[in-house]
């Protein structure tokens, strides 16, 4: 059994184009914590894609709720962490129209909340 967390995440563009960046970017994202929930953005499944296009990073991200009071700060911190790690200008594609779901969380975490 692997010690790596099961991220229960969709495939990211960099999984195939820049696999050497997946772990450093993931590690950077683990430091971005939702202060209300106490879990990081990977545990919550908020990062939907990370890719590099035209020499820039693009991170597709959602929030657990569109009215999250910490949302703007979390989006900017995520952008900064990605930009530092990728070493190129990075933008956030905020997916405000998509609804977050408990099934996006890392495997096993939702059961801690009594969901599954």
Domain segments of the chain as ranges = 13-107
Q: Give the pLDDT of residue 93.
A: 97
Give the model confidence (pLDDT) of 39-78 as tens digits.
999 999 999 999 999 999 999 999 999 888 999 999 999 9
- Report the DSSP pairing between strands 90-94 and 56-61: parallel
Question: So what's the architecture of 13-107 in CATH?
Answer: 2-Layer Sandwich (3.30)
Quickly list DSSP for 7-53: ---PPPHHHHH-GGGHHHHHHHHHT-B-TTT--BTTTTT-EEEEEEE
Residue 66 is predicted with a pLDDT of: 82
Q: What is the pTM of this model?
A: 0.88
Q: What is the model's pLDDT at position 39?
A: 94
CB within 8 Å of 46: residues ≥ 6 apart: 34, 61, 62, 63, 64, 74, 100, 104
Residue closest to 74 by CA, chosen among 41, 38, 37, 27: 41
Q: Name the more confident of 22 and 114.
A: 22
- pLDDT tens string 9-46: 899 999 999 999 999 999 999 999 999 999 999 999 99
């Amino acid at each position: 059994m692997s010690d790596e967390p099961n991220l229960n995440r969709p495939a990211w563009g960099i999984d195939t184009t820049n696999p050497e960046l997946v772990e450093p970017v993931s590690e950077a994202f683990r430091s971005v914590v939702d202060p209300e929930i106490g879990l990081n953005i990977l545990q919550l499944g908020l990062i939907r894609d990370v890719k590099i296009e035209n020499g820039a990073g693009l991170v597709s991200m959602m929030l657990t709720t569109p009215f999250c009071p910490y949302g703007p700060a979390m989006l900017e911190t995520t952008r900064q962490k990605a930009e530092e790690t990728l070493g190129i200008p990075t933008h956030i594609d905020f997916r405000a129209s998509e609804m977050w779901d408990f099934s996006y969380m890392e495997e096993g975490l939702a059961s801690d909340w009594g969901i599954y």
